[in-house]
Amino acid sequence: MNVKSEWLSISSIKEYFFIALLFIFASIISTLAVNKSSLPFYCALTTGLMAGVMITRGVKSIVGFFLGAVFWQFISIFSTIPVLHLTPGYSILYILSECLTLLIFYKSLNTNNGAAFLIEKNNGLKRFFTFALLSSLPQAIILSFILYNSSAINSTITYIKLLHLTWLSITLSILSLTPFFISFLNKNKKITLKNLQFSWEFLLFLIVLIGPSILEVLKVINPPYSFPIYFLVFPSIFIVAFRKNISDLTLSLLIFYLFTIYNASKNSGIFFSPDPYLNASNIHYFILFFFFISLVLGVVVNEKRLAFESLKKTYHGIEEEIQLQTNSFRELNLKLFQEIDHRGIIEKELTESRNLLEESQEIANITSWELNTETEEIKWSKSGYRVIGYNPSSPPSTLSEYKKYIFSDDLNSFNLLFNKLKNTPLNFEIELRHNMPNGLINYVLVHGRSFEEKGEICKVIGLSLDITKRKEAENQSHEREQKYKALFESNIDAVSVINPDNKTFIDVNKAFENRYGYTRDEIIGQPYSLITAEVEDTYSAIENAFRKGSHRVQTRIHKNKKGEEFFAEGIFVKFFASNKPLIFIISQDITKRKIAERSLAERELQYRLFFESDLIGMAEINQKKEWKSFNNKLCIILGYSAEELKQKTWDEITHPDDFLTELKLYNDVIVHKTDGYSIEKRFIRKDNSTIFCKVAVKAIFNPQGNITHFIKLIEDISSRKQIEKELLENRATLRRAQQIANLGSLSWKLAYNYITLNEVAYPLLGWKKTQGPFNIKNFMELISNEKRAFIEKTIEDSKKGIKHDESIEVPILINSGENRYLLLNVGFNADNSIEVSEIVITIADITDVKKAEVAFQEANSLKDQLFSIIAHDLRGPIGSLNQMITFIAENNDSLDNHSRNDLILSLKDSTQETYNLLENLLEWAKSQRQISFKPEVIHLKPIADYSLVLLSGMSSLKKITIKNDIEDELSAYADSYMIQTIFRNLISNAIKFTPNEGKIQILGFRDGANAVLKFIDSGMGIPKDIIGRLLDGSQNFTTLGTNNEQGTGLGLKLVKRLIEKNGGKILIESKPDKGSTFTIFLPLTQHA
């Protein structure tokens, strides 16, 4: 904690108020006791109190003193004792003088060795007395000046005398109260009653001190006769100094000081005089001298006591050391006797061992022999027949006989060795193969030494050890080593061998070189920490493998030579090579798997958040069509509570007329013809009403390919169905109206070029009678190009007498620029010759109907588009989430904490992304449903600041700097809610596509009648061919962010729609890898 925080902490503030209350309490006591005659005794009682507090509690206690002093000066205004009334100027001067004295006293003592040093050591006591005398001078000078110029004292006293008494009063106050605080109220010492050691010495002191005053009050004795009793105080307090500790002494001195100045203020006690100032001077010097003698005695005695206790501890230590040495010598003596007994046992065992040697040699297939180099005779031990293979009854007695047993390929080596042994004394060792009677070959290790006598080699003594089994084991070990090498080098995973002592590489395979980028020569001898980003955890895993034999790490972050990090799974196995323990490590790159797990967790969270939202009804149903789960939206659609719906099955709420149709689709999924279906069907609500819904069903499969359950999306389309019904009824009504109503009509006499119209037709076609005459060409020019050819063909058919009973809907553009929809019925009249002479066309204005139909189609398209987006973004995660849930359920016990933490982090990231998905879906859906539009004059910079606060979490994670440079007074005429949505989307997009530690700038300025906003980022940029698709409402396009953040592809479409709604426009400028600039133009005022 820094100094500023420590001074402003809650505990410090509480301490300040406690100290302030203590100061006020002491001031009240002084006020109640003070009068003109006793003023010199009490004028500085608070100074000693505050000095003790500062020495024990620290320099920050000055704050509490200052608060208490200021409060007391206000309180003293209402005091009834006139001697304490001070002017505001004198009050301030008095507070500052006391503050100065306290600071000088505190800083001068330098209590780095502890406050107790001041009253327990001679050097400390010397400093304490010296600075108590000196530091009180500033306050004495100023306080004397204040008192001298006020009415608080007798006007006959001189300033020098007053200064003298004030200085003595302040000094004694510090000398009496400070030791008491150091002994009992030190902040490093717990304050309890145990600190007070009541004893007969202390009780004697109290009786002697208080007794004479009590006797005087009771009129038992008068002042002259009480003097001898008063002087008994000195030996009694010296007894306390000699026999008790410093704490008892400081308490005794404090009581003596308070009692003495009280008696002196009453002009009684040891000293009394008609002159109160002379009396005060005498008693002050007496107390000062008494304090000095008592404290010096107490310190000297305390140091002697401590020295004695140290000497006593040293003496006890020497006694303990002597006792330890004595016990040690006893143990050594006992061990000596035990060693003598043990030596006898060893000699006995040695004799027995000699007897067992030959038996051991026979068991171990070892034989000893001795060769005479002159006679070439050989002597064998009993076990020789086992090693050499000879008949036990007839061992080879000569060297030539023995050579017959040696394998022919080894005979030459043996002869060369024997020739050396005959000439030179030397130690030897050789491996020989022996021919055994059973046709097999034994391996024998022969070692020994040749000996000389009188300068000539006389004999060779040796041992022959049957090492056949060892050689077979070596051959098997060699084969295993070759197999290990082949497995080591051909392993597709990175394999390494490390020294467990210093954690350095000993060997790596080719797969390791390829994955980590280091060559074998580069990595050998390097520490294992070179390839891991989690050094401590990895070294802990190596230690576990060394202790337990093996250890598996499910997830670690490794890095290659380029510093690129990836996820790895490690298996650590301890093995021995040449009797040396090593660690064999297999590292498998699991980055793709981790990404898949994270994606799976993200999709699970997306699914769950969407499932729990109220955008659409969702349910999970088993193969018996019973509910596994459903969301609140489905309950709202069907009118049931959750508990009521659980009691129903899917079939029970299905309308009977739709049951068989859906059953056929359901059976196709059951037999795996398809994995889902979509249907428009009716449900029976709780109130028995019928509701139309669009249902999408998806089967969820387990890893074995079996269906576990179904996911169903249910959308209420009752409103759409009602609109369709009304539209059909309107069309039927229109057709009936055409038959009976006075509709517009057009007549074209084929013999003439002109057409005639009735009164209704002119306004329908946007013509006026005064503009005529009109011909058929004028009429055809009104019809749109896509319908014109069809109308022309229909008229040509009518000329030929071919009837067309259907009505024709055509769009036309009238002269005023208005688009209209007309319903045309084309007929003809024939004359007597049955030739068509007239074409008749009835005209009805269906513009309002068409607009309603278009609105309906747009609404239906919106529903389908939203449904498509939901199915696209959520259908995939559903299957993956089931696999992830299955994995966690089946492997929960085997997952370590690190793996669980990884899953939790993945779920956290997915929560944020899914939240963004749902927020954009909701806002986009609201914008499509024409949310309320309330434009007003708004200031833009605060909206940007608010958006930056909301998105500070995203930007801080990527350490992106965002600068808001919008002009302070820049405003626009727009809807505040929509502008907030625009800012959030554009800033979050900039963060999403800006790399870590990138920069984003928001500019805002006025340009003519528009407010111009620019969102500039240093991100990845947008290719030219993509910019147009971003704002195209008919396409859904999304891209991963720089940290693989996902989106819905709806954000910019929503932004464009809202900007245009507010009468503005948006422009995009971007270069790949250079960043992007999104420019928005918004009107400054309301359009006329």
DSSP 1003-1032: EEEEETTEEEEEEEE-S----HHHHHHHT-
Q: What percent of the chain has pLDDT over 90?
A: 9
DSSP string, 129-189: HHHHHHHTHHHHHHHHHHHHTSTTS-TTS-HHHHHHHHHHHHHHHHHHHHHHHHHH--TTS
* Residue at 338 is within a domain: no
**Is 922 a domain residue?**
no
For residue 839, pLDDT beyond 80:
yes
Are 737 and 660 within one domain?
A: no
Residue 938 and residue 1017 in one domain = yes
Name the residue type at position 963.
Answer: K
User: 3-state DSSP call for residue 880?
Assistant: helix
**Separation between Cα atoms, residue 1048 and residue 1046, nearest integer Å:** 7
Give a yes or no: residue 368 inside a domain: yes
Report the 10 Å Cβ neighbour count for 754: 13
Contact status, residue 896 vs residue 570, Cβ threshold 8 Å: no
273 within domain boundaries: yes
> For all residues of the chain together, what is the average pLDDT?
76
Instruction: Please give the span between the terminal C-alpha atoms of the chain, in angstroms, as a whole number.
Output: 62
Residue where a domain stops, chosen among 188, 216, 244: 188
Report residue 1000's pLDDT band, with 50, 70 and 90 as the boundaries.
very high
Model confidence, pTM: 0.31
4 and 120 share a domain?
yes
Residue 480 lies in a domain: no
Residue 365 has what pLDDT? Answer: 72
Q: How far is CA 634 from CA 637, 638, 656, 875, in A?
A: 5, 6, 20, 18
Task: For residues 732 and 792, state if they share a domain.
Answer: yes
pLDDT band, very low/low/confident/very high, at 696 (cuts 50, 70, 90): very high
653 and 751, same domain (yes or no): no
Q: Is the peptide bond before 773 cis (omega within 30 degrees of 0)?
A: yes
3-state DSSP assignment of residue 488: helix
Angle between helices 137-148 and 159-184 (to 10 degrees): 130
pLDDT at residue 1014 tops 90: yes
pLDDT of 868:
46
State the pairing for strand pair 1075-1083/1010-1017. Answer: antiparallel
The per-residue pLDDT for 39 is: 54
Residue 143 vs residues 71, 167, 375, 817, 1081: alpha-carbon distances, Å: 19, 9, 127, 100, 74
The CATH number of the domain holding residue 46 is: 1.10.1760.20
d(CA 949, CA 941): 13
More confident residue, 343 or 593: 593
Query: With bands split at pLDDT 50, 70 and 90, how would you rate the model's confidence at 49?
Result: confident
For CA atoms 255, 261, 266, 270, the dihedral sign is positive
pLDDT score, position 795: 85
The answer as to whether 337 is a domain residue is no
Q: What average pLDDT does range 1035-1042 have in this prediction?
A: 67
Same domain, 168 and 31: yes
In a shared domain, residues 166 and 48 = yes
Concatenated DSSP letters of 420-476: HHHHS--EEEEEEEEE-TTS-EEEEEEEEEEEEETTEEEEEEEEEEE-HHHHHHHHH
* pLDDT at position 770: 79
- Region 780-790: mean pLDDT is 83
What is the structure's pLDDT at 756?
83
For the stretch 234-287, pLDDT in tens is 666 666 665 666 677 777 777 777 767 666 666 555 555 566 666 666 777 777
Task: Please tell me the predicted confidence (pLDDT) of residue 1058.
Answer: 85
DSSP 909: H
Final residue belonging to a domain, choices 143, 171, 188: 188
pLDDT at 320: 76
> Could you report the per-residue pLDDT of 656-683, keeping only the tens digit for each?
999 999 999 999 999 888 999 999 999 9
Please count the other Cβ atoms lying within 10 Å of the Cβ belonging to residue 841: 25
Residue type, 155: S
Domain assignment present for residue 332? The answer is no
The DSSP bridge pattern shows strands 808-813 and 819-830 to be: antiparallel
Segment 742-768 shows an average pLDDT of 80
Q: Distance (Å, rounded) from C-alpha 1003 to C-alpha 990?
A: 14
* pLDDT recorded at residue 917: 47
What is the Cα–Cα distance from 188 to 111, expressed in whole angstroms? 13
CA dihedral for 896, 898, 902, 905, sign (positive or negative): positive
* pLDDT at residue 191 tops 60: no
| Rounded Cα–Cα distance for residues 80 and 31 (Å) | 9
**In total, how many domains does the chain have?**
7
- DSSP lists the bridge partners of residue 565 as 559
CA 391, CA 113: separation in Å to the nearest integer? 94
pLDDT tens readout for residues 413-470: 888 888 888 888 888 888 888 888 877 888 888 888 888 887 788 888 888 888 888 7
CA-to-CA dists, residue 990 to 923, 966, 1052, 1076, angstroms = 19, 17, 12, 8
Together in a domain, 1009 and 1049: yes
Q: What is the CA radius of gyration of the chain?
A: 55
**Is residue 650 domain-shared with residue 703, that is, in the same domain?**
yes
- The verdict on 390 and 529 lying in the same domain is no
**Which of 140-149, 322-331, 900-909, 989-998 bottoms out in mean pLDDT, i.e. has the lowest?**
900-909
The residues facing 450 across adjacent strands are: 460
Which of 238, 239, 252, 241 is CA-nearest to residue 302? 241
Distance CA 984, CA 911 (A): 18
Whether residue 57 is predicted with pLDDT greater than 70 in this model: the reply is yes
Position 867 pLDDT exceeds 60 = no
| pLDDT (mean) for 704-720 | 88
For 554-606, the three-class secondary structure string (H helix, E strand, C coil) is EEEEEECCCCCEEEEEEEEEEEEECCEEEEEEEEEECHHHHHHHHHHHHHHHH
> Is pLDDT of 936 > 50?
yes
Q: Burial level of 596, CB count in 10 A (0-12/13-18/19+)? A: middle
* Of 807, 808, 798, 806, residue with least CA distance to 828: 798
Q: What is the DSSP letter of 121?
A: S
The CA distance from 538 to 531, in Å, is: 10
CATH number of the domain enclosing 372: 3.30.450.20
Report if residue 336 sits inside a domain. Answer: no
Tell me which residue range forms the domain holding 747. 723-845
For residues 180 and 219, membership in a common domain is answered with no
User: Could you give the angle at the alpha carbon of 458 between the alpha carbons of 457 and 460, nearest 5°?
Assistant: 90
Cα–Cα distance measured from residue 866 to residue 924, given in angstroms and rounded to the nearest whole number: 9
pLDDT at 737 over 80: no
- Do the bridges between strand 366-372 and strand 441-453 make them parallel or antiparallel, or are there none, so unpaired? unpaired
Q: Which residue has the higher pLDDT, 847 or 714?
A: 714
One-letter amino acid at 364 equals: A
User: Of 539, 555, 589, at which residue does a domain stop?
Assistant: 589
What pLDDT sits at residue 906?
53
Cα 946 from Cα 940, distance rounded (Å): 10
Lowest mean pLDDT among 687-701, 711-725, 1033-1047: 1033-1047
Is the separation of the CB atoms in 515 and 591 below 8 Å? no
Q: Provide the percentage of residues in the chain whose pLDDT is more than 70.
A: 70
Verify that 585 and 600 share a domain, yes or no.
no
| Sheet-wide strand order for 1065-1071 | 961-966, 999-1007, 1010-1017, 1075-1083, 1065-1071
Is pLDDT of 1022 > 50? yes
Of 246-250, 347-351, 984-988, where does the model show the most confidence?
984-988
CB atoms within 10 A of CB 161: 17
Torsion sign across C-alpha atoms 974, 977, 978, 984: positive
Residue 1083 has pLDDT above 90, yes or no: yes
